[in-house]
Amino acid sequence: MTRIETDFIVVGSGIAGLMTALSLCSSGQVIILTKARQEESNSFRAQGGIAAAIGEGDSPELHREDTLRTGAELCDPASVDLMVHMAPQTIQLLAEWGIPFDQEDGDFALAREGSHSISRILHVSGDSTGAGITSSLLKRAKESQQIEMVTHTMVVDLFMDQGVCKGVFTFDLEHRPACFLARKGVVLATGGCGQLYRYTTNDLVATGDGFAMAYRAGAKLTDMEFIQFHPTALAVEQNPMFLISEAVRGEGAILLNDAGEAFMSRYHEWKDLAPRDVVSRAIYSEMQEGRRVYLDATCLGSRFAKRFPKIYRECLARDIDPAKDWIPVTPAAHFIMGGIRTDLDGQTTIPRLFACGEVACTGVHGANRLASNSLLEGTVFAQRVAQKLASLAPQSLEMEKVDHPPLFIDKQKEFVLKRRIQEIMWNYAGIIRTSSGLLKGLKQLEQLKEEIPVGLFECHNMLVTAQIIIRSALWRQESRGGHYRYDYPETNAEWSTKHYVI
């Protein structure tokens, strides 16, 4: 087995991983390990933008207020404070690094999205914000002598020595095992777990590996019941599903059912710009009643193609012209608010193990994420992680024989097993949950566990993460943010200070 030593190991090449590596590279050697192509991430798919209080009439306090309100009283105010106050300088830094944020009248163009009380969303090439930011960061990382990017290399477990994280075990594309060791520390920036669900906007890489690996190593996870279902994925069977950004509704598009009714007024006073969980449940309820749901963006006319070029192209490819036709939409799993519990420096409960981005739970999202706060969280906390990690003294990497976990390969079996987990999670731990459904889901996952061969890592990780989500969802006997219990439909003040930690 190959053994490689470096100062810092970063797992993941999304916005959080890249930003961490770039913030660390003046302090030592960084190796980024990523399991597919370097562009394969949810970050690359992000459309709408990144939030920051930089516009006229806006302030970090207002951004804070919107974030806390959307988080349904479960956010950590200190984390939110830190994020909203670091947001303007982070945007400045990204702009200095050459991120081509869209401009209007010589200033940053700012869009409005659901639950934001003011226009504060920066974007790149209209609706290609994630690709715009990520490619610029990738280019910058490539130019750095201190950063090495190792693609198509899956981290399968953390290497622990007496309770301390010292590195990671990997397999590359040719199935060769290796052990990467870090003198300073390991950062998990492995993103979310949308692939746990039958319908999702998340990239195929989002199989929850980081949550499962951290859990196996003994790290604490929290708030895992809170899943955000995006209301408007394009209702065409494919994995991942294509997202119709919330910014389209921000520009005036409205939701209609197949009777032509603008039904959102029946569900919330903010109508189409109500919080995501409300809109998702409203659409889901319409669909449960047997109605199809559409997004009518025809009011944008020819402006649609200019403002949302990527969405326009994707729709046209399916014979839908958003300037004239209603776009069929459906909710889909999109984001997880919970994750590996970290402090304000991204430190997990395991020494030398850090986490940032979607895999971490810094507390900024509470029970529900405010649109465009996720790219922001990744960039802000990556800088915090780097600052802390760089200050640590190097650890000894002397050790006895190291055993690498075995690998099992059977693509067909893997597909079938993954699909079963996805069905279970969609049916029993989805948009509307009940105690009996969650228990049924848990039981089915337990039975499925026996069928997953040792060494089928993504499947195991999906199963472990799914079990954690269901246990957390069973525990929370109320409805709040991204967690809705049909049997406990009210939000209960008693639960506003409680977090499930596992």
Catalogue the active-site residues: 276
Tracing tokens 């960084």 back to the chain, one arrives at 30
* Cβ atoms of residues 292 and 257 within 8 Å: yes
| C-beta atoms surrounding 406 within 10 Å | 11
Residue 72 makes contact with ligand FAD by CB under 6 A = no
Stretch of residues binding ligand FAD (CB under 6 A), selected from 82-90, 178-186, 189-197, 313-321: 189-197
* Size of the residue set binding ligand FAD (CB under 6 A): 44
Residue 482 makes contact with ligand FAD by CB under 6 A = no
Stretch of residues binding ligand FAD (CB under 6 A), selected from 267-275, 318-326, 345-353, 354-362: 354-362
Phi, psi of 176 (to 5 degrees): -85, 130
What is the chain's length?
502
Stretch of residues binding ligand FAD (CB under 6 A), selected from 27-35, 64-72, 248-256, 266-274: 27-35
Q: Cα separation of 210 and 36, whole Å?
A: 15
- Rounded to the nearest angstrom, the gap between the alpha carbon of residue 284 and the centroid of all alpha carbons in its chain is 22
Stretch of residues binding ligand FAD (CB under 6 A), selected from 99-107, 158-166, 264-272, 352-360: 352-360
Residue 13 makes contact with ligand FAD by CB under 6 A = yes
* Residues in contact with 43: Cβ distance below 8 Å, sequence separation at least 6, in sequence order: 14, 15, 16, 18, 130, 133, 134, 191, 375, 378
Residue 140, exposed/middle/buried by CB under 10 A (0-12, 13-18, 19+)? middle
Beta carbon nearer to ligand FAD, 50 or 469: 50
Integer distance in angstroms from the first to the last C-alpha of the chain? 33
In terms of phi and psi (left: phi > 0; alpha: psi -120 to 50; beta: otherwise), the region of 441 is alpha
Which residues, 323 to 342, sit near ligand FAD by CB under 6 A? 335
- For residue 489, the minimal CB distance to ligand FAD (Å) is 27
* Cβ atoms of residues 337 and 360 within 8 Å: no
Among 6, 10, 14, 159, binds ligand FAD (CB under 6 A): 14
Per-residue binding letters, 195-224, with ligand FAD (x by CB under 6 A): ------xx--xx--x---------------
Residue 357 makes contact with ligand FAD by CB under 6 A = yes
Q: Cα separation of 200 and 158, whole Å?
A: 27
- For residue 156, the minimal CB distance to ligand FAD (Å) is 7
Q: Cα separation of 30 and 147, whole Å?
A: 5
* Cβ atoms of residues 467 and 428 within 8 Å: no
Which residues, 250 to 309, sit near ligand FAD by CB under 6 A? none
Token representation of residue 25? 């590279």
| C-beta atoms surrounding 238 within 10 Å | 10
Per-residue binding letters, 148-177, with ligand FAD (x by CB under 6 A): ------xx----------------------
- For residue 356, the minimal CB distance to ligand FAD (Å) is 7
Sign of CA dihedral 252, 258, 261, 266: negative
- For residue 119, the minimal CB distance to ligand FAD (Å) is 15
- For residue 330, the minimal CB distance to ligand FAD (Å) is 14
- For residue 445, the minimal CB distance to ligand FAD (Å) is 20
Kind and range of the H or E element at 296? strand 293-296
Residue 17 makes contact with ligand FAD by CB under 6 A = yes
Beta carbon nearer to ligand FAD, 7 or 358: 358
Half-sphere exposure for 214 (CA within 13 Å, toward CB): 35
* Cβ atoms of residues 27 and 7 within 8 Å: yes
Which residues, 30 to 49, sit near ligand FAD by CB under 6 A? 33-36, 40-43, 45-49
- What are the Cα distances from residue 399, in Å, to 11, 47, 395? 22, 45, 12
Beta carbon nearer to ligand FAD, 34 or 467: 34
Per-residue binding letters, 367-396, with ligand FAD (x by CB under 6 A): -----xxxx--x------------------
- For residue 428, the minimal CB distance to ligand FAD (Å) is 22
Residue 16 makes contact with ligand FAD by CB under 6 A = yes
- For residue 377, the minimal CB distance to ligand FAD (Å) is 8
Residues near ligand FAD (CB under 6 A) are 11-17, 33-36, 40-43, 45-50, 129-130, 154-155, 189-192, 201-202, 205-206, 209, 243, 335, 357-359, 372-375, 378
